[in-house]
Structure 1
Amino acid sequence: MNLPILDNQTARRVFLDAHALMERPIGPGRGAGLAQLITRLGFVQVDSVNTMARAHDLILWSRQNAYRPDALRALNDRDRATFEHWTHDAAVIPAEFFPYWRLRFARDRDRLRARWKNWHGAAFHAEIDTVLRRINDHGAVHSAEIGEKRAEKSTGWWDWHPSKAALEYLWRTGELAITRREGFRKFYDLTERVIPPEHLNAHIPEDGVIDWACRSALDRLGFATPGELVAFWALITPAEAKAWVDGALKRGEISEAMVVGADGAPRGVVLWPRTLARAHDLGDPTPRLRVLSPFDPALRDRKRAERLFGFSYRIEIFVPEAQRRYGYYVFPLMEGDRMVGRIDMRADRETSCLRVRALWPEASISWGQGRQNRLAVELHRLLPLAGCDSVAFADDFLK
């Protein structure tokens, strides 16, 4: 059977359109408009590194330049339009998706209970009840308020004391929820005090969760393999995703296609027929140069980013400095539908200056004055998010 083929440029545009990166980064940046953006993306990864801006803030800003960090805190902590939990990593997720996480809570419960009992002994089980009573009686807590003793030996989980392990267990299994952050410190409360009742009290059967996980992931990826459907939410198993794909193909709900990579190699995927029908009508992406987060949803799957964009990226935090090819935490640069480089910059908040230390263009990219001017414009747009007033380039920044 001859399958439809998406050439590399068309595939990039389908993918970027699904990730809200084809259009200009306009929008209110707060309230209902921000909630709609997060729902469109599915989730926003949360990370504490703040060399210029935190990952979740840059992800949202790169799509709505009016966004400021207090808007996400208001949406999550006050409006309860989102909640924080786990996908492939810690993330902010639309509150309406909470019922689907019950399957993850249930599957994690026995696995984590046994694991943490092995780490912390029988005391861990008693701490679960102690932590719940403390929060029920006295309200939200952060981890530093729970327990005083550290584990007697290294556990691989930062030597958590039993109470901290109990707190994390209760969050991972859905009995507690993050009610707010102060700085970047999480405060936990009973889930029924945090999640709106209409979402808290909704229950979805396992087959409904599997169907939703696959459909909603395909919506947000544009095209995918069964493994990529699994990885998107990290809610279901490979066998469950494969069974869903097989069934959806038999029912004629989805189609098979070949996607051509940056290296010219085709790869089999599935997609919605409507995606295939409109793939060549997307038009050109906005030509502006964008700074992206290292954890941007379009790039977080490093192997897919390399296949689709020819962009090999990894964070070199744990690589010895002498062995680093780039800075330990550099920001990808996108122009139109191409990755054009990566930039090492930090917000010097003592002098209120965004300092560019190095920039590495991709091998096929010529970094002329026009592109440098577009970068300067983008960095000046970034200043309010970085908390800076000016930009300074090191004399030898261009590598």
Structure 2
Amino acid sequence: MEVFNITKKQARQFLLLKHGLLGEYKFEEKKGIQEFVEQVGCIQFDPIDTCGKNADLVLLSRIKNYKKTMLYELLYQERTLVDYFDKNLSIFSMSDWPYFLRRHHEYDYTTRYDKGIKLACDEIKNEIRLRGPLCSSDFSRDKHIIGTWGSKSSLARAVLEHLYFTGELAIHHKKGTIKYYDCIENCIPLKLLNKKDPNKELLDFQSWLVLRRIKSVGLLWNKASDAYLCISKLKTPVRTTIFNDLIKHNKIVEVNVEGCKEKLYCVKEDISLIHQIIASSLLKKRCEFIAPLDNLLWDRKLIKELFNFEYTWEIYTPEEKRKFGYYVLPILYGDEFIGRIEAIYTKKTKGLVVKNIWYEPSVKITKTHQTLITKQLKKLERMNREEIN
């Protein structure tokens, strides 16, 4: 088995080159969005929007000339991408749909809502067939249900979400944060709906997902990691079995990083990037703001190990216990994180307000840094000004 020995700097550059965050932009416009999503498997979707939603922020840092309408069109008009569960709520290529058939059945038995909602499923589906794509407010608001977490929800909303999770409905389009649902056959090509699950057993599905997550992050280790979230029943013995099998079949290769105790692994297809980094480290430095749920940050301990940068998304941290802020974006420059920034976009003024910037103690900020950060703020503001009709 081929084994690579690299420095931490080379490991950082490998990751950033793979993610299109170092050197010239390698992804451009809608074609680039599709290419990037296919490369990483999925990008996480989160509806919180203080200075841009997570998926938009991920793409803004990688896609040359990115606009929010590009992602919207790929999702709800061209339908080459789809939003569903992969690593939590995610966006992935439509062609991957058959791989997630197992998720529909898994959810059916672990629904967050009382089984009583199933009584209303046929009524909701018939109404959508009759009237077309609908949102929860298009139904009666008189009936409510209590979810697992004790939160009160309209029965219609609970049923729509249930049918979405079980793969009977899909998101047809959105108006702001409002989801309009339609029958699955109107949103997913029949040739994909008629395909069987490519993974016959649970272990096959787990193995496919582990490989997908290694590919998504770039480098991962065989130990507990948030990068493996939503892979059901992935206990340590199972994960080790999967890693051994992936190594045996030459799907992943070992990467030893100087000063790192744990062995890391990358997918075989990325070996060329390692050779590229070893041959030359002279790559154009870029300054980018990184999204809180960016694929690069899925394993925060790995980021601490390789970049010596600690990052916590403090959105769920009580205000009095926050070290930084509610929605803070790490600032990347070259192959280092030089700080973090908290910015808020207000639709009323159509402007971006910078609440604070925290620079790393070891970084000496220059005029170059300040100029590039200002440039990124303008880019972020332009993206937020764009409205989706």
TM range (shorter): 0.7 to 0.9
Identity %: 24
Q: Is the 8 A contact 1:25 1:64 kept in 2?
A: yes
Partner of 2:214: 218
User: Structure 1 residue 6: deviation in Å?
Assistant: 3.0
The 3 A distance-change label for structure 1 pair 156 and 98 is same
Q: Is the 8 A contact 2:60 2:66 kept in 1?
A: yes
Does 2:289 align with 1:271? no
User: Structure 1 residue 252: deviation in Å?
Assistant: 4.4
**Secondary structure at 1:376's aligned position in 2?**
helix
Q: Deviations over 1:103-161 (max 9, x none)?
A: 1112222122xx522xxxx6322112222222222221112223424546574163123
The 3 A distance-change label for structure 1 pair 15 and 237 is farther
Distance 1:254 1:167 in 2: 40
User: Structure 1 residue 164: deviation in Å?
Assistant: 2.2
Q: Is the 8 A contact 1:135 1:189 kept in 2?
A: yes
Q: How many residues align?
A: 378
Does 2:2 align with 1:8? no
> Which ranges of structure 1 fall in alignment gaps of 5 or more residues?
389-399
Partner of 1:88: 87
Aligned-partner residue type, residue 105 of structure 1:
H
Q: Is the 8 A contact 2:51 2:343 kept in 1?
A: yes
Distance 2:92 2:80 in 1: 9
What is the TM-score with the length of structure 1 in the denominator?
0.85
Match of 1:306 among 304, 307, 324: 304
Aligned-partner residue type, residue 350 of structure 1:
K
Taking CA–CA contacts closer than 8 Å with sequence separation of 6 or more, which of the two structures ends up with the larger relative contact order? 2
Distance 1:318 1:54 in 2: 16
What is the TM-score with the length of structure 2 in the denominator?
0.87
Q: Is the 8 A contact 2:221 2:262 kept in 1?
A: no
Q: Is the 8 A contact 1:24 1:286 kept in 2?
A: yes
Residues 1-399 of structure 1 aligned to structure 2 (within 5 Å): 4-25=4-25, 27-30=27-30, 32-112=31-111, 115-117=112-114, 123-149=116-142, 151=144, 155-156=148-149, 158-203=151-196, 204-207=198-201, 209-226=205-222, 231-232=227-228, 234-235=230-231, 237-238=233-234, 240-260=238-258, 264-272=259-267, 275-276=270-271, 278-282=273-277, 283-387=281-385
The 3 A distance-change label for structure 1 pair 144 and 372 is same
Q: Deviations over 1:311-369 (max 9, x none)?
A: 21122233343332212111110011111100111224433332222110012111232
**Secondary structure at 1:188's aligned position in 2?**
strand
**Secondary structure at 1:136's aligned position in 2?**
helix
User: Structure 1 residue 255: deviation in Å?
Assistant: 3.3
RMSD value, Cα: 2.8
Distance 2:287 2:13 in 1: 16
> Which ranges of structure 2 fall in alignment gaps of 5 or more residues?
none
User: Structure 1 residue 278: deviation in Å?
Assistant: 4.6
The answer to which of 68-77 and 230-239 deviates more is: 230-239
